[in-house]
Structure 1
Amino acid sequence: MSDKQASLRYFTPLKEVNSCGQGTLAAASVAFKCGLNQTADWVELQTTNGLIRCYQQSNEQGDYYAFAAKQPTRLLLHLDEERLLALSPDWQKLREVQQQHNVTALFAFSWLPSHKAHVKDRMFSPQMGINEDPVNGNSVIAFSRVLIHLCQSGGQSLPDEIYAYQGFSFDRRGTVRVTLSTHKMPENSVRLAGQVVQLYQFHMELK
């Protein structure tokens, strides 16, 4: 650990994974609170997926954190809303498909070109030990890249923001808002940002 760098690893109930958007934002919040940023507006987190630079910024709602996220490897499934709501995967078979094709998750979404700023989605990742993640940012990253490609290839304007509605199958509803921009971003990446709410705090000793 240096003045502006800390190491970060991600674990699910089943295995260690090399990326987690929510975990990265939470770790950035802790790093700033611990003073790792010194006087700069960023901290660097060393992960198994490489070095991630996270920025602290502010708006009318308070502080939030942002970083450039690489596009994860995912299967995307486009369904109408009724089929999306009724989807009930066979977890063992889905795990085998993910292992066979070396993908981290299946992202199922319902979206209409006439309402391109709004999407309903579900994310399944039994290979990582998470059958379904109720609210997450990584699936919206995947959809954002697809939407940018569709708009650019079809000569359509890109919406300023996407609203992704999630968690409805758990009755744990949440909305992820994504701001889209194709400027000043590393290739094959999008900017993921969010606010962090601390629910509890504890210390753990590892031996």
Structure 2
Amino acid sequence: MEIPVFTLDSFTNLPFKGNPAAVCPLMHELTDELYQRIAAEINLSETAFITRIRPSDDFTKASRFCLRWFTPTTEVNLCGHATLAAAAVLFKYKKNVNSTLVFETKSGELLVTQQGEGFVMDFPLNPPTKQDPNEFRDIIKVALGGRPVQEVHLNSNTKKLLVRLPDDCDRSVLTSLKVDSAALECSERSGRVKGLIITMKGSPECQPGYDFYSRYFAPWAGIPEDPVTGSAHTVLGSYWSEKLGKKKLLAYQCSKRGGELELEVRDDGRINIAGQVVTVLQGTITV
């Protein structure tokens, strides 16, 4: 069996930046074991599998599809950059005629709309709640050493822990962090945390005017550090919208590859996440 595969860099307009995802449009569903083996073979942070809802559907005319995401080690419930990449494959290479696509996923219906040179995703908003930093002192110590922390928040739905650095920190403190992923994974075994967000206030007065910066680590899902994370921004967007008192935010994830996200927190409990996508590879997997 031959399966088409595309590798795309999301949240960037330059190749080899942003976050790479593999996308496989499938004529029929595969077994969970095969999905996982393909994702492990590709070995990117996420591989997305698109399937048709009805046998009579085709990739050009249908507006609704099923979408699943796998890391090299496990299936995940929500992934932003691979959703962006999946929509780009359908619009650019399958010549889908619809202005908006709907993906049925483990996180409900996700909508993606073309907008200019990029795409806008309609995602659920995941507000975090404030926590006592002492409850997470082990994970914070591994990630930050002895550096001070301003606030700690947790979203129990996504199991993403948000740690905010003090406002007097220079951005270089965030970008220079070297986190031992094995030690990080061992520091948290309760199951409460599946991803660690480290964030700090941005520099909106300086061009291009980022409202906040972040990095994201998820060794519990087989991802030491994710370059640019749409799902983390469903938590970050909620947090920083409240702190900064604004609905529209420009974010930058400070990984080595780096990526930019445009956010709009909506009053209906959803968030728009916009970004661009660049294709870097097309091929075929034989299984």
TM bucket (normalised to shorter chain) is 0.7 to 0.9
Q: 2:67, 2:103 within 8 Å by CA — same for their partners in 1?
A: yes
Q: 1:67, 1:191 within 8 Å by CA — same for their partners in 2?
A: yes
* Superposition deviation, residue 8 in structure 1: 1.7
Report the number of matched residues. 188
Structure 1: runs of 5+ lacking an equivalent = 152-156
Which of 66, 70, 80 is the matching residue for 1:7? Answer: 66
Q: 2:263, 2:271 within 8 Å by CA — same for their partners in 1?
A: no
- Paired with 1:93 and 1:43, the residues of 2 have a C-alpha distance of 40
- Paired with 1:114 and 1:202, the residues of 2 have a C-alpha distance of 41
* Superposition deviation, residue 136 in structure 1: 2.9
What corresponds to 2:155 in structure 1?
none
Higher relative CO (Cα under 8 Å, sequence separation at least 6) belongs to: 2
TM-score by length of 1: 0.75
Q: Deviations over 1:42-88 (max 9, x none)?
A: 11222222222211122xxx3x2112112344101112346534544
Does structure 1 residue 68 correspond to structure 2 residue 122? yes
| 2:119 alignment partner AA | Y
RMSD: 2.8
Tell me the percent identity: 27
1:9-158 mapped onto 2 (5 Å cutoff): 9-33=68-92, 34-35=94-95, 37-38=96-97, 40-58=98-116, 62=117, 64-70=118-124, 71=126, 72-79=158-165, 80-81=169-170, 83-85=173-175, 87-96=177-186, 99-111=189-201, 117-151=210-244, 157-158=245-246
- Paired with 1:114 and 1:4, the residues of 2 have a C-alpha distance of 38
Q: 1:75, 1:103 within 8 Å by CA — same for their partners in 2?
A: yes
- Paired with 1:135 and 1:192, the residues of 2 have a C-alpha distance of 12
What corresponds to 1:154 in structure 2?
none
- Paired with 2:100 and 2:204, the residues of 1 have a C-alpha distance of 38
Over 3 Å counting, the alpha-carbon distance change for 1:113 and 1:175 in structure 2 is closer
- Paired with 2:185 and 2:243, the residues of 1 have a C-alpha distance of 29
What corresponds to 1:202 in structure 2?
283
- Paired with 1:99 and 1:53, the residues of 2 have a C-alpha distance of 34
Which of 142, 145, 161 is the matching residue for 2:249? Answer: 161
Structure 2: runs of 5+ lacking an equivalent = 1-51, 127-157
- Paired with 1:148 and 1:48, the residues of 2 have a C-alpha distance of 26
Over 3 Å counting, the alpha-carbon distance change for 1:139 and 1:42 in structure 2 is same
What corresponds to 1:193 in structure 2?
274
- Paired with 1:49 and 1:179, the residues of 2 have a C-alpha distance of 19
- Paired with 2:194 and 2:217, the residues of 1 have a C-alpha distance of 9
- Paired with 2:119 and 2:203, the residues of 1 have a C-alpha distance of 30
- Paired with 1:10 and 1:142, the residues of 2 have a C-alpha distance of 19
The 3-state SS of whatever aligns with 1:6 is: strand
